[in-house]
Structure 1
């Protein structure tokens, strides 16, 4: 089984971290984990237990806690490769407490659901996936200790179910180790051989917004576009690319406004937008920010399409805004009641955040790992897994994921998503419906390695 995992910073209070660079995955309904960090282990027999610990402590798996779950024998001190039909050892690191929990909690639940589900079906290549989830406390220093402990377990892969700030803080450590990392937010990084992302890349985020705006009005040729975004370095960078792409598509930008988190009113910003008569408005903000801005823009008299990024596209946010002209971008079908993913989340007791975009992103992280291990075989080292992931090409995932385009991985492409769909709220049925089912997200491009 796993050795004890502990952070040297376990008693240090977590500072508030700015998560504005990851706003497209922010949850709208909150997530507090009931004040506890959580650590889960899936053993070779899929027996699961949850160890609940005080909120300021990093998740710690002690020898006694491990003993509670030991129903398939000790996995020993191997390399986590699954050789001989034994378990594949995987470390999952997440922001389970602190400022990042509302974003990362759903990632962790989605990952756990995917891994529990495949273990329940017999595992991969005859071997189960043995995993535990440990907590960074949303603290950069604690995160480094948590990732270091995860690496000490010699896993075949690490699933970084964290925000990008947490990943960035520990990235030099991970880069030096070279272990396969599948991350929820591998955004803005060069195309490192070991790093894979379940999100869109930064270049794809810009393409997604520009192409969605174009699809909402059939063509941007001769059209005017207003941009509204949360005031963060990431959004400013994305909007710089969006402006260029809109220009390439024949459109012009009437205004670009950045809104500070927690701004109480957008009435003056909405009036400014209306005065310039745009054909379409694009919003990239948190769920709360999206609601504030979209409602203000509609109240000011705008009746054209409003395209909103991930954070404003979940069912609850669309229903709150209740504007049929608002189009929410989704890179995959969310886990709503009636889907296979929803049923799996309920079966394995991970359904608290199932309707959130981040939950499905976590599911994709797990399925990327499962697909790579399936191709890799029983005796699969981390280096072998990298080769297998790079050789997947076009692949699909189970669970009613129903992505809007093929999933693709190669040595040159470490972000598999290729397209998005646009959803709107139907007041007649009071449900979210697909309005445009396939918008090209573009090829991921990566900055040069420093």
Structure 2
């Protein structure tokens, strides 16, 4: 099966500029392709994963991918998919974001020294050195206003207003394709479906800038579909915000749980989009979803593959350990690091490292509304200390109740967790 057939089976192709031509191009050549990522934050999030993994798919098929950091375009802001103008960041901020993205590319794409190892470039290398005169003469003259206004990324913003800065973004991204075509023999650009106009504009610039030259120009564009969820909510968003690839922003446990909680209606689609599992295993997992959905076998497999890919095997094992402990209630087996991940967002009460009566602790930590309520909660069996029920009203929390001499986990009822941090 060639790369295009595999992508089609997985539902990963939204549009191509010349499907048959691209198939032949990929079949007969080692193709260099690229995808750009603007540094709008200090980490990528899971919305970036499909195009990022696409680069990896092409690499596994023997082609040469370029991950382009938009250090230059990130100074401007892409109007695609937005109804309002982006806030502009300073040069130093964008530079810091760019370095963070470069590190994530190197980790996820597993840069190795071989004939098709991933190349990481930054478009600030050429855009940052370009003068206004160069921009207008060498690029701007090839773009008609009507042509640009017809692009959806621009036309969708005309009614609400678009600055010349964002209006010019298309030309800047076109320059990226042309520069990589010249320097890296890059003939394919991929991106999200909202990038179709920018991709085709880049192809047009390459052709127009060489129309008087005797050159056989073969360049192509391919977009991946917008990821949608069956329940209508936005993919990659939770009550806590975006799901980031940086473990400091979204812990591996939180990342693992995001995939575990995938809707049955979405899980097979996501496995096709995000993993490298073959079609036989995917068919078996699809059967599991249909016949034994309560086992959540497909969700567990998806969560395993994604956590290993973005983090590593050790992070996956820790996430699974935390999940098992929370499910079984065996919280004493958790380490301080485990607790930091698994209880990152639960209400936390800091107190001195000394003995304290359970009733007082419940009130001080606002777990129970009053001493009377605290005594009732304890008596009724609603209070658990590190996973074990405690019904002794006069119980004192001491050193034996502190995990790694620091944390005590209190549960009230079935699901309300509280973290006591003894400092």
Same fold (TM over 0.5): no
Normalising TM by the smaller chain, what interval?
A: under 0.3
The structure whose residues are more often strand, as a share, is: 1
TM-score under structure 1 normalisation? 0.23
TM-score under structure 2 normalisation? 0.24
Taking CA–CA contacts closer than 8 Å with sequence separation of 6 or more, which of the two structures ends up with the larger relative contact order?
1
Q: Larger Cα Rg: Structure 1 or Structure 2?
A: 2
